[in-house]
Amino acid sequence: MLDFSKIEEKWQSRWFTEEVHIAKLGPQKKYFIHFAYPGISGYLHVGHMRGFTYADIIARFKKMSGYNVCFPAGFHASGLPAISLAKRVARKNKQTIGYLKENGCPPEIIPTLSNTNAVIDYFSQVYVEDYWKKFGFLIDYSRLMTTISPGYQKFIEWQFKKLNEKKLLIQKPHFAPFCPNCGPVAVDKSETDISQGGNAEVLEFTLIKFRMDDLVLPAATLRPETVFGVTNIWINPTVEYTKIRVNGEKWIVSKDAVKKLSAQIENIQITNETIPGNKLIGKKCTVPLLDREVPLLPATFTDPKIATGIVMSVPAHAPYDYVALKESKENIQPRAIIDIKGYTIPAEGICKKMGIKSQKDTEKLDKATEEIYKKEFHQGVLNKKCGKYAGIKVSEIKDRVKNNLLDTNKGGIMMEFSEQVQCRCGETVIIKKIPDQWFIKYSDKDLTLKSKHHVSTMNIYPQEYKEELQKVLDWFDDRACIRKGSWLGTGFPFKKSWIIEPISDSTLYPAYYTLSQYVNQKKIKADEMTPEFFDFVFLGKGTPKKQIWNEIKKSYDYWYPVDINLGGKEHKTVHFPVFIMNHVALLPPQKWPRGIFVNWWITQTSGIKISKSKGGAEPIPGAVHRYGVDPLRLYYAHVCSAHVDIEWEEKTLEQYKRKIIKIWRFVHNLLEIKGTAESIDEWLSVSINAEINYINKELENYHLREAATHIYFEINKILQWYIRRGGKNHDLLRSIITTWLRTMAPFTPHIAEEIWEKMGNTGFVSTETYPRYNPALSNQKVLTKENLLIQVIDDISEILEVTKIKPSRIYLHTSPPWKWTMATMACDLKEKGKLTISNLLNTFFARPDLKQHAQEASRFAQKMYRIMQNPTAMEVYQQEINEKSYLQETKGFIKNMVNAPQIDIYNAGDDKAPDPGNKKKVAEPLRPAIYLE
């Protein structure tokens, strides 16, 4: 029986003790592959293994194809995840402890994980020992590194100094999510730092200052251009408003807004004066730019938690305002200021159309708002009520009105989330303005252009991403690259106590793998890794201070650049772009990355990405135990294309496990066969050789799935057919299986090794060369003949099924010679690009001996012409094969397959051949006439 874990342990231990995985400099072509290193945030799950497995399969294939492969890995320890895990352990958070236990964390380890460094040490060891090694990955473990090691930090410092020298570090104001308790937080879908609001977007509200005596009502809007259509201001009568002083002005805003504005505007003074909303109602204020007076009216939809809590009302264009105005019963007419087709007063129109009656009907109102907004944005033009802006398209006006308001101190800016965001500590997350934030200037024109051009020369999988990536580079803007707070990472060299953020310290890192093993072996110490050292190693500047510098430089020169960087689709818009741009910015062109491979995700049955917070994550050791590593590897490689999401389903995994077992048994059965040569042998060799050709081509293009289909399914089928056809050549089978195992080795290495050894081979199949196409073995005729046989059996079977005849005798008439002649002539003409029906007939009749077939020739020429339009037809018809003799040879087999006692085979060109069914005339090349009786 096949014991997966036993052979896994056996071969893994042998590979690693014999150091199959270690990358050493050599004379061969090098191949450098790595995957986007995982962040240290806890246990990984089966979803992560998908990409890692692809990397290992590719690395193994390249190794077997004669490349000297370097496949390093590391850990991204920067940022918050490790800290937050440690904090949760320290707090004895129940969920966290439970999660650790469930994943098999030893009880004595758990308390130690309240320390961040312990988290990093523990999990990096788990990743290596429990995941990567258990999957048999031939990662060069002597190069492991983490982003918070002293050597790496030296490397990052050097990188930022270089960026600064290149004028790619700039300073400007920035708005960032911020928790008053915890400092900067990340707002993202996976909700790492927050407990609510992962879908929030950052919106830019324009504050429009409506004046009321000496007071300012800063109404917040996303559509400043509609200021011309304001008819009133909405105040929530149930809300207590607060007065604040802003640059000598007195503003009225909601209480919630005070905190937010203080984080964004300097010099805000909070007064103790409050004013209830209902006291404001009925007063009047002035619309800026127009100097019209409008009243303050009550509206319950005005939410004090959103922006300033003061809303300007544009009933002609905002459905909410329109409905609220109707409900207020005020005698105020909407002022339509934007013309669009189909509406005179858009908000009124859509409310009537959708039957909206109340401002509480928020679902419909949201829909109406969206529809009107889209229409107005795309088709709308400001009308004459807008003074000097009349005639301008809405899509162009927004910023102009906003800037005009700002320039004349009639407005301001407020950044706000589209929904409430809650920090994990319980506090509401706000947006803070950092006046002098440091950025990496990814908007740099020259850098963008060079990067885009380089991308166009790269190997990118999937192909579509190549174009997408160039577009991403176009809109990729400057990135805030440092933060203040308790984060793991490298200190920023130009601003004390600020730390480089986790994306920015993970861009050039594969270069560090070319020297990490020297650090690990203590051949160089972190404090020796000065800027001069990196200048020398990476840029060839200066002179080496020590011999080891030369050695390290040699390693870098040999292995770099990256041939493939492999990562999940989540990296498409951030990691991969910065990975490329930093290389382009800092290194010479010959060191720029050559390839990117993007893999999609494993999702839960519902289509949700598997994640720790959303659940559904199957722990890796459990899956290894249940299904076995080789089945898992084959599953990843074969279940679907690498560039599409797939749901994790137990049944599917079981299926792959069975598939491996079947192959295991099948191979063993084949090896038991002790016969000698048969005529079908040649077909087997030729077919396998054709498969090898195909598999190599697919693998060279990183089509792992397609290659796996042929290795595990097509070759299997071919061998099955061989056996059915009576093949039993022991020596040939052994040699074919040897080849087959080598094709499997990158995908399912353990089982391949195990059989390899059982067959008495020495060494590792993993270090053998990958099977290569042998042109001498290519023989289309052999394949065509066998296909003829299959076709004949298929046809007979179909006839039997349709007619329900139990045949006592079958007549086969193979194609008359003249039809073959015409077929080969057609191929000839096709090859010369001269194939037309008339050319074909002319060529044909040029031969006097063929004139006798004039009557049928024209019809057959038409048919042949049609067949030849198929590009694969040429190789099939190019060489005439002796159909009759092949069928004669295989007659016994056909009889068996179709269950017929007697088969008589003739050539249709033979006038004396009996033709009881009058079928002879339909015989064509590779389609013999068939008659049953």
Partner RNA sequence: GCGGGGGUACCCGAGCGGUCAAAGGGGCAGGGCUUAGGACCCUGUGGCGUAGGCCUUCGAGGGUUCAAAUCCCUUCCCCCGCACCA
Out of 240, 645, 856, 904, the only residue in the binding site for RNA (CB under 7 A) is: 645
Near RNA in 160-199, by CB under 7 A: 174, 176-177, 184-190, 192-193
Near RNA in 666-705, by CB under 7 A: 705
Tell me how far, at minimum, the Cβ of 186 lies from RNA, in Å: 2
Out of 31, 228, 476, 664, the only residue in the binding site for RNA (CB under 7 A) is: 476
Residue 423 burial class via C-beta count within 10 angstroms: exposed 0-12, middle 13-18, buried 19 and up:
buried
Q: Binding string, 849-888, against RNA, x = CB under 7 A?
A: -----------------x--xxxx----------------
Does 494 contact RNA by CB under 7 A?
Answer: no
| Contact window for RNA (CB under 7 A) among 280-288, 565-573, 755-763, 766-774 | 565-573
Out of 133, 402, 452, 483, the only residue in the binding site for RNA (CB under 7 A) is: 483
CB-nearer residue toward RNA: 174 or 292: 174
CB-nearer residue toward RNA: 302 or 890: 890
Tell me how far, at minimum, the Cβ of 39 lies from RNA, in Å: 4
| Contact window for RNA (CB under 7 A) among 270-278, 402-410, 651-659, 682-690 | 651-659
Near RNA in 24-53, by CB under 7 A: 36-39
CB-nearer residue toward RNA: 449 or 805: 805
Tell me how far, at minimum, the Cβ of 893 lies from RNA, in Å: 14
DSSP-assigned beta bridge partners for residue 253: 242
Query: How many C-beta atoms surround the C-beta of residue 197 within 10 A?
Result: 18
DSSP-assigned beta bridge partners for residue 146: 75
Out of 115, 655, 738, 858, the only residue in the binding site for RNA (CB under 7 A) is: 655
CB-nearer residue toward RNA: 39 or 304: 39
Tell me how far, at minimum, the Cβ of 927 lies from RNA, in Å: 5
Near RNA in 904-923, by CB under 7 A: 917, 919, 922
User: Which of 681, 601, 586, 581 minimizes the C-alpha distance to 641?
Assistant: 601
Near RNA in 744-803, by CB under 7 A: 791-792, 794-795, 798-799, 801-803
Near RNA in 719-738, by CB under 7 A: 720
CB-nearer residue toward RNA: 555 or 582: 582
Q: What radius of gyration do the chain's Cα atoms show?
A: 37
Q: Which two tokens stand for residue 691?
A: 């498969």
The Cα-based distances of 720 to 20, 301, 685, 726, 792 in angstroms read: 34, 72, 14, 10, 19
Near RNA in 569-628, by CB under 7 A: 569-575
Tell me how far, at minimum, the Cβ of 147 lies from RNA, in Å: 8
C-alpha angle 700-706-709 in degrees, rounded to nearest 5: 130
Contact 551, 536 (CB under 8 A): no
- Judged by CB under 7 A, the number of residues near RNA is 96
Tell me how far, at minimum, the Cβ of 651 lies from RNA, in Å: 6
Out of 197, 412, 771, 928, the only residue in the binding site for RNA (CB under 7 A) is: 928
Out of 201, 214, 407, 911, the only residue in the binding site for RNA (CB under 7 A) is: 201
Does 464 contact RNA by CB under 7 A?
Answer: yes
Report the alpha-carbon distance of residue 273 to residue 243 in Å, rounded: 6
Near RNA in 223-282, by CB under 7 A: none
The Cα-based distances of 597 to 330, 335, 459, 743 in angstroms read: 63, 55, 8, 22
Q: For residue 114, what are the contacts with CB-CB under 8 A and spacing of at least 6?
A: 86, 87, 89, 90
Tell me how far, at minimum, the Cβ of 387 lies from RNA, in Å: 26
Contact 803, 898 (CB under 8 A): no
Tell me how far, at minimum, the Cβ of 36 lies from RNA, in Å: 7
Tell me how far, at minimum, the Cβ of 875 lies from RNA, in Å: 10
Q: Binding string, 343-382, against RNA, x = CB under 7 A?
A: -------------------------------x--xx----
Tell me how far, at minimum, the Cβ of 250 lies from RNA, in Å: 32
CB-nearer residue toward RNA: 453 or 484: 484
What is 449-485 written as a DSSP string?
A: HHHHHHHHHSEEESHHHHHHHHHHHHH---EE-EEES
Contact 783, 918 (CB under 8 A): no
CB-nearer residue toward RNA: 331 or 869: 869
Does 503 contact RNA by CB under 7 A?
Answer: yes
CB-nearer residue toward RNA: 62 or 479: 479
Report the alpha-carbon distance of residue 588 to residue 583 in Å, rounded: 8
Report the alpha-carbon distance of residue 430 to residue 265 in Å, rounded: 13
Tell me how far, at minimum, the Cβ of 585 lies from RNA, in Å: 15
Report the alpha-carbon distance of residue 641 to residue 638 in Å, rounded: 7
CA torsion 254-256-258-262 (nearest 10°) is -150
Helix axes 463-475, 445-457, angle to 10 degrees: 180
Sign of CA dihedral 426, 427, 428, 434: negative
Tell me how far, at minimum, the Cβ of 207 lies from RNA, in Å: 21
The Cα-based distances of 309 to 155, 240, 507, 739 in angstroms read: 48, 10, 42, 74
Does 436 contact RNA by CB under 7 A?
Answer: no
User: Which of 274, 271, 227, 233 minimizes the C-alpha distance to 249?
Assistant: 271
The Cα-based distances of 415 to 184, 201, 437, 538, 889 in angstroms read: 15, 10, 16, 42, 84
Out of 124, 206, 302, 506, the only residue in the binding site for RNA (CB under 7 A) is: 506
CB-nearer residue toward RNA: 325 or 620: 620
In total, the chain counts a number of residues equal to 933
Out of 90, 110, 118, 202, the only residue in the binding site for RNA (CB under 7 A) is: 202
C-alpha angle 737-739-745 in degrees, rounded to nearest 5: 100
Near RNA in 294-353, by CB under 7 A: none
Contact 73, 37 (CB under 8 A): yes
Q: Binding string, 376-415, against RNA, x = CB under 7 A?
A: -xx-------------------------------------
Q: For residue 425, what are the contacts with CB-CB under 8 A and spacing of at least 6?
A: 179, 181, 182
Near RNA in 703-722, by CB under 7 A: 705-706, 709, 713, 720
Tell me how far, at minimum, the Cβ of 697 lies from RNA, in Å: 12
Contact 235, 219 (CB under 8 A): no
CB-nearer residue toward RNA: 38 or 224: 38
Out of 219, 311, 394, 480, the only residue in the binding site for RNA (CB under 7 A) is: 480
Report the alpha-carbon distance of residue 635 to residue 617 in Å, rounded: 17
| Beta strand extents in 258-325 (DSSP E only) | 268-276, 284-287, 292-298, 311-313
Near RNA in 60-89, by CB under 7 A: 76, 78-81
Tell me how far, at minimum, the Cβ of 57 lies from RNA, in Å: 17
